Amino acid sequence: MTVWLTMLVVGLLTFGTRLSFIYLFGRQQIPTRVKRGLRFVPPAVLTALIFPELFLPGGTLDVSLGNERLIAGIIAALVAWRSRSTVATIIAGMAALLLLQALAG
């Protein structure tokens, strides 16, 4: 039930956001400050989700070569930077993680 309600609320909020200015048919301008801030929403939110996955495996800080997810994540980031390809990034990162886990036995 919680999942359904959450889904519904997020769905309505998303729809409302997409409709917002279309509904106001262009009479309202977005303040420049807000517009500038919106650009940083994706990198800020997504990185805030990525970092704990990489640096806190199992909930504790691990910045060592033994942290397979951190190493695999760095490799994936390098591939993403060079290739700009989503598929290449995901394959490289997953292959690196599986390989590192196999090596660690």
Partner 1 sequence: MPAARAQFWSGVKAELPILVGVVPFGLIYGILALDAGLTALQAQAMSTVVFAGSSQFIMAQLFAINTPVVVIIITAFLVNLRHALYSASMSTYVKHLSEGWKYGLAYLLTDEAYAVSINHYREPGELKYKHFYLLGSGLALWTTWQISTAAGILVGSVIPSELPLDFFIALTFIALVVPNLEDRAGLASAFSAGTISVIAFQLPFRLGLVLAALIGIVVGMVVEEKWPSMRVTGRERQADREGPG
Binding site for partner 1 (CB under 8 A): 2-11, 13-15, 17-26, 29-30, 33, 35-56, 59, 61, 69, 72-73, 76-77, 80-81, 84-87, 89-90, 93-94, 97-98, 101
Residue with tokens 């106001």: 24
Give the nearest distance from C-beta 85 to partner 1 in angstroms.
8
Give the nearest distance from C-beta 58 to partner 1 in angstroms.
12
The DSSP annotation for 31-78 comes to PHHHHHHHTTHHHHHHHHHHHHHHH-GGGS---STT-HHHHHHHHHHH
Cβ neighbours of 70 (radius 10 Å): 20
**Cα(5)–Cα(11) distance, rounded to whole angstroms?**
10
**Cα(94)–Cα(83) distance, rounded to whole angstroms?**
16
